[in-house]
Amino acid sequence: MSGGSGVAEHGRRRIDEIGEESRRRILDAAEELFADRGFERTSFVDIAKRSGISRGSIPWHFRNKDGLLMAVLARAMDRFLPPERYQRSLPSLATLLLDYESWARSGNSALIFMVLTEAMGSTGAVRGQYQEFFETRRRRVVQWLRAQRPAGAGGGADDRERAAAVALNGAVMGIHLQSLVDPEVDLEAALQSLAALVDTNLAVVWGGTRDP
């Protein structure tokens, strides 16, 4: 009986491994195609051909195309700002932006701007998915700020942290976009300059004053 149980357990693990591999291949293909063609012009048939996974398997993993888009964006987010980073030690902003720089040079980072262009002209699912993506980014920046908030922070710190998350998110994306358009832009230097500026002014976020 124990031998049969072991075989069954091995079989379940193998099925899980196959499922994870299929999911990864679908995500890889979707990320490439969304970056190349945009969300609206990419079909499940296109993704199936690129991934080598049957078309019918895609909704099984992601339910629909909107769910697939969200999974692609969420995976992109986790590459440079994984939530478990806060469970070990608090990384510096310079470290986080180095992670972002590595991801931005990965080849498909233009995806977020390709999809954003569609989201700005849409009132449907793409816009909603992108709003969720931005909300996730801002929420993680707020978590990073809150984890180092001093005990004597002034009133309204929650609102200022949320505003700072919007500003920081916008600055990072703006630098990234400039580097994609203009090869003369030094992405690493610009991001590290941003980190230094934020570090110098963090006291203002918590209701303090900036050092003269």
- Taking Cα atoms as reference points, which of 111, 76, 81 lies closest to residue 95? 81
Which parts of 38-153 fold into alpha helices (H)? 44-51, 57-62, 65-80, 85-88, 93-104, 111-120, 125-146
Q: What is the pLDDT of residues 69-124, one digit of tens each?
A: 888 877 876 766 666 655 567 888 898 888 888 878 876 677 777 777 776 776 66
Q: Tell me the residue type at 68.
A: L
State residue 35's pLDDT score: 79
The pLDDT score that the predictor gives to residue 187 is 94
More confident residue, 86 or 135: 135
This model's pTM is above 0.95: no
Higher pLDDT, 110 or 21: 21
Supply 74's token pair.
Answer: 């969420």
